[in-house]
Structure 1
């Protein structure tokens, strides 16, 4: 068995865990290990039905270092006139990118 030395272990790779880790590594030089039972980040968004979307604008969700979505107002569909709301698939893809670009080093 290999031994890993780290400053923090974060259990789970959902929105809160990734937001915490993003904030921590942007302010410190701490080493962080994230463990999760799922194969990819995103927490419960990996388990949602395909039609489920955020109940808030995409730009208000996620981690501080990377914006989710393009902060635009939808012009068609049931959300017309409101800021875009990401789907579960879009959220999982966003967290994949956050993990690859900002958190894995």
Structure 2
């Protein structure tokens, strides 16, 4: 089992979650579409050559973003990340995949 965490603007929060759910993420036992999310502030500065969804090259941006966490079985984690990348508005979405140990 893995945990996927990613950051996304509110405009694409539901779209990315539903794409991940459709790829099999967010299942815990007899439950599906399980996720945890919290609103925070993210920052980034697009570099020359980038094509940012928000902002412009060379200018530091700070925006409201959600951090979303959900679990994913090993058999669908690659498809889940592909679904995230396909629906996320950012050129380079920030995400992490952590291996979980069951006790």
Which structure has the highest strand share of the two? 2
TM over 0.5: no
Higher RCO, Cα 8 Å, sep 6+: 2
More helix by share: 1
TM-score by length of 1: 0.23
